[in-house]
Amino acid sequence: MIQQSLQLLSEHPDVAFATCEDGKPRLRQFQIMKIDGTTLYFATSARKAVYRQLKANPAIELLAASGKRSVRCSGTACFEVADEVKQWIFQHNEVLRRLYDRYDAMEYFSMEIETLDYYDLEPTPPVMECYNLKEGTPVSGFVGTRWAKTDA
């Protein structure tokens, strides 16, 4: 399911992107600019609230959805992005080139996926797979009283 999750993220890069400010969640639509394995890349402006929020608290959670399938993942923002990756992102994103004159006028960051939840509510029973990628372990989850997963 991890590969299916990454495929859904690749096909639906516009995600609900959550940060935290003053102990309160902040949610906005954001775009995944590049996926490399389980690392997601993003771009923003240092003038935006999201940048200030991530600098103060780098915790991220995001959600991508398509029909009855969704992927939720979390991780930590890392602002150390190689210059060639920044240039690739800028060159492959039409919107960034319309909004900014140069690739280095922006801030870039990555998020290594630490936890990943894949949901598919179409089949019966529904599919719910949860992974802790940081530790390399599956995690139990609850999908409803009729198909409850339990820790063994």
111 within some domain:
yes
Helix (H, G, I), strand (E, B) or coil at 106: coil
State whether the Cα torsion 95-99-103-108 is positive or negative.
negative
94 within some domain:
yes
Measured CA to CA in angstroms, residue 111 lies from 1, 81, 85, 125 at distances of: 19, 10, 14, 32
133 within some domain:
yes
Q: What pLDDT digit, counting tens, does each position of 61-111 carry?
A: 999 999 999 999 999 999 999 999 999 999 999 999 999 999 999 999 999
- Torsion angles phi and psi, residue 10, rounded to 5: -65, -40
Q: Which domain holds residue 10?
A: 2-147
50 within some domain:
yes
Enter the pTM of the model: 0.90
98 within some domain:
yes
118 within some domain:
yes
Tally the domains of the chain: 1
Q: What pLDDT digit, counting tens, does each position of 23-72 carry?
A: 999 999 999 999 999 999 999 999 999 999 999 999 999 999 999 999 99
| Cross-strand pairs, 106 | none
152 within some domain:
no
CA 67 to chain centroid, in Å, comes to 18
Rounded (5°) CA angle 128-134-140: 30
CATH number, domain at 108? 2.30.110.10
